[in-house]
Amino acid sequence: MQLRRNRWSRGATIRQRVDEARAAADGDPPAAVSDGERAAVTTALRLGWWMADTYHYTQHQHRVPGGREATAPRKLSNLTEMAPRLRLRMYLDGVDTALREIGAQIRTPAAAPATAAARELADALDRDGSATEAVLLALDALNVEVLRWTMASNYRLGLAYRLGRSLADTARDCGPEQLVWRFGGRHQEICRWLDELASVLPPFAAPVVGRSVQAWATRVRQAHHDPDRQAELTALAGRLREQGALWQDVLTGGLDPRDLLDEANYAAIARNLLSRDRRLVRQATRGVFLPVLVPLLLFLGGIVTIGAVTAAGSPLTRTAIALAGIGAGLAGLWRTVSRPALALAREVNRPLLAIELITEMARCVTRPLRTPAPPADTPEPVRPAQSTPAASPG
């Protein structure tokens, strides 16, 4: 029990230092950013993701075979077994809920967009496929209204909404060709939006996800240009959806990236920080010692030498006086230099600690990317035939 309390205490101390490092690296958030705006930005990001899923499901929805609703199922129906009209209504309910939350959080006088037009067409999805185009048009019109409303209410809300849509479309299941296209340039816009929203997203979320997206773009580009790594490209496409779920959890506050760090991560952070400190000390020594400290030491040595030579007494006495003078001078010099040097080291180490923490957290969040790719000659696993259509993403 005592060991558990000690470990909890150390963890609390580490978390406190992490918070201090983030405050030092990012600075205090602007006074104009309220808690309501932060919550609204997170909700807008989630709404953008939800809207992209709604449109994608409507495009690729699988109609339930006839008579499905009249027959009692062997078990309670899952999300992917819902009738298309019910699934679409669920998505629209989520849109309405998010719009109400945003309106309450930012207290905007403008009326939120309505989903009535899309709801009127939802029932037709079960009857035939000809209604799909009309529903898609209604959803796109709703998307434009939501984008207009969020941008007009608060620029960062509109940005968060667009970020959620873009990430959802980027992290959707796809093949190798689509994977290369998705990370061909879109990731740069995503990273720019993350930088702009960093102050209103959860702690560390924007830089961690930004580095993770950049890591994916680099890996996909390297695999695409290497003919021997096509199997790796296929494996990466299969892991993309898992990575997207992690991005969404981090950006919406469902997962704190600091919770992914373990003792090995903190040990790596300490090693990297010490290595940075050694480089900084060497650079500071070259920049300060020669032009500043060497003249002071020569001046101090001259004064002590003159005092020792002119002092009366035996050689041993004069040597003792010289050593005492050197010691007193060095002690005074240390007191003069050490305090500002240590204060400067603390100020420099705080952002460096934040950088190392972000690097390790990004590595942990990007764990699907670090899963080893299968060898090129590994055969594809044989999957059993299914009598029912495969579930669509979402």
Half-sphere exposure of 312 (CA within 13 A, CB side): 0
Half-sphere exposure of 352 (CA within 13 A, CB side): 18
Check residue 27 and give its pLDDT.
Answer: 45
User: How far apart (Å, rounded) are the C-alpha atoms in residues 332 and 106?
Assistant: 58
Determine phi and psi for 171, rounding to 5 degrees: -95, 15
Check residue 71 and give its pLDDT.
Answer: 75
Whole-model pTM over 0.75: no
Q: Print pLDDT tens along the chain (394 aa).
A: 444 444 444 444 445 555 545 544 444 444 456 788 889 999 999 999 999 999 998 888 755 444 445 577 788 888 878 888 888 999 999 999 999 999 988 887 788 899 998 888 887 776 666 788 888 999 999 999 999 999 999 999 999 999 999 999 999 999 989 999 999 888 999 999 999 999 999 999 999 999 999 999 999 999 999 888 888 999 999 999 999 999 999 999 999 999 999 889 899 988 888 888 777 777 766 666 566 666 666 766 676 666 666 666 666 766 676 677 667 766 776 676 667 666 666 777 788 888 889 999 999 999 888 765 555 444 444 444 433 333 333 3
Cα 99 from chain centroid (whole Å): 25
User: How far apart (Å, rounded) are the C-alpha atoms in residues 369 and 238?
Assistant: 10
Check residue 19 and give its pLDDT.
Answer: 53
User: How far apart (Å, rounded) are the C-alpha atoms in residues 85 and 278?
Assistant: 63
Determine phi and psi for 169, rounding to 5 degrees: -70, -30
User: How far apart (Å, rounded) are the C-alpha atoms in residues 190 and 67?
Assistant: 44
User: How far apart (Å, rounded) are the C-alpha atoms in residues 112 and 143?
Assistant: 12
What letter would DSSP give residue 183? T
User: How far apart (Å, rounded) are the C-alpha atoms in residues 54 and 318?
Assistant: 90
What residues have CB less than 8 Å from 318, skipping those under 6 apart? 308, 309, 311
Check residue 386 and give its pLDDT.
Answer: 38
In a 10 Å sphere around its CB, with 0-12 CB exposed, 13-18 middle and 19+ buried, how is residue 85 labelled?
buried
Question: How far is the CA of 67 from the CAs of 71, 73, 126, 232, 269, in angstroms?
Answer: 6, 11, 11, 43, 59
Check residue 7 and give its pLDDT.
Answer: 42
Q: Which of 140, 134, 84 is nearest to 113 (CA)?
A: 140
Q: What interhelical angle do 132-153 and 35-60 show, nearest 10?
A: 170
User: How far apart (Å, rounded) are the C-alpha atoms in residues 92 and 212?
Assistant: 31
Check residue 378 and give its pLDDT.
Answer: 45
Determine phi and psi for 335, rounding to 5 degrees: -65, -35
Check residue 279 and give its pLDDT.
Answer: 79
